[in-house]
Structure 1
Amino acid sequence: MSDMDRRAPVANTLESRFPVSYSIYAMARVQRALAATGLADLGLFPAQEILLTELDGDDGRSQKALAETMGISHVTVAKMTARLERAGLVARRTSSTDRRVSLVFLTPAGRSAQEGIRAVWAGLEAIVNRELDPQAKQDYLAGAAKIRRALDASGSGDAGE
């Protein structure tokens, strides 16, 4: 590896002016790209695995409950669920107690996808933990929790799928 390869990237204008916000953006962008690569091998797009994992822990949830848990709009969950249903990973059924409510269930294929999803996320976790000793990890999580609270308090946005 040459000295040129070892140099830190030059900060861009946004990074120079807004280092914390840019850091969040940059980490999220790279994490999402890495996740997308692993999930593509499973036939999934980022965020779809979140919905599938939520159902693995509590099957038969309403789309509204999934939207609230995932922090995205009901419309986004409805679109995501439709795509996952077409892929054979989930099935929607009307609630027997409220005909207006659509419940989402994993199919056998959706259950089978869980191992691959866990492998993708375990790989992501291993990558990010390479540089973190236990104290640095604890400090990061504490700081990230504060940032999430600040962002949540400023208003809710829909990250989409």
Structure 2
Amino acid sequence: MAFNYKKSITFRLVQAAKAQRARSGSHLMRIGLHPGQELVLKVLADSDGRTMSQLALALGVQPPTVTKMVTRLSSQGYVLRKVSDTDGRLARVFLTDEGRELVVFVDKAWKRLEREAMSGLDDKDRKKLRKLLRQVEKNLSLSVDDDPEHESDLEPDNEEPEVAEKKSASGKGKERSAA
């Protein structure tokens, strides 16, 4: 029997993530940002003066992605890149005053998004959902190479002809040829 992906939790998770990204994008566009840029501002608001590699690590993205985001934010006047005084190879990224002001609007956009996303869920459900999503994130963060079942999961399900015949005889499955 084919896997019904539309009824899977991972499909629902993907659909929810798409909806979240679209809604987040519309809120961020109102303040002149693209999705992902707000995270750079938030990370710098928490710890200003990070290097590009520190930002990449904090954001969970590749260095070229950070470079592109920082370049755009810099051209908008929200961040400033400064070469390190101690190591000329390192550039540190700082929020400008305009960037700090924008973080306030980012927070408002996130609060609104949170309110919209969690509408209809009580506090108990929200806490449970947060806990469950952390577990899913942890599960998916594990290396595929560490899963001994990984290779067998990727093989097609092939029932023995005997099993298929028994299912067919009991009316529980479709007939299948032994060929």
After TM superposition, is the score higher than 0.5?
A: yes
Task: Indicate the residue corresponding to 1:15 in structure 2.
Answer: 6
Query: Match of 1:28, as an amino acid?
Result: A
CA distance in 2, matches of 1:98, 1:152: 33
Task: Indicate the residue corresponding to 2:92 in structure 1.
Answer: 103
RMSD: 1.3
Once the two structures are TM-superposed, the CA of residue 143 in structure 1 deviates from its matched residue by 0.9
Query: Match of 1:138, as an amino acid?
Result: K
| 1:142 maps to 2:112 | no
Task: Indicate the residue corresponding to 2:167 in structure 1.
Answer: none
Once the two structures are TM-superposed, the CA of residue 136 in structure 1 deviates from its matched residue by 1.0
* Counterpart selection for 2:62 from 45, 51, 73: 73
Q: 5 Å matches for 1:27-46? A: 27-46=16-35
Normalised by the size of structure 1, how large is the TM-score? 0.83
* Counterpart selection for 1:124 from 93, 113, 117: 113
Q: Secondary structure at the match of 2:92?
A: strand
Of structures 1 and 2, the one scoring higher in RCO (CA 8 A, sep 6+) is 1
CA distance in 2, matches of 1:129, 1:27: 12
CA distance in 2, matches of 1:147, 1:154: 14
* Counterpart selection for 2:48 from 59, 63, 67: 59
Q: 5 Å matches for 1:83-102? A: 83-102=72-91
Q: Which runs of 5+ in 1 are unaligned?
A: 1-12, 156-161
Once the two structures are TM-superposed, the CA of residue 106 in structure 1 deviates from its matched residue by 0.6
Structure 1 segments (4+ residues) deviating >6 Å: none
Structure exhibiting the larger radius of gyration computed from Cα positions? 2
Once the two structures are TM-superposed, the CA of residue 128 in structure 1 deviates from its matched residue by 2.0
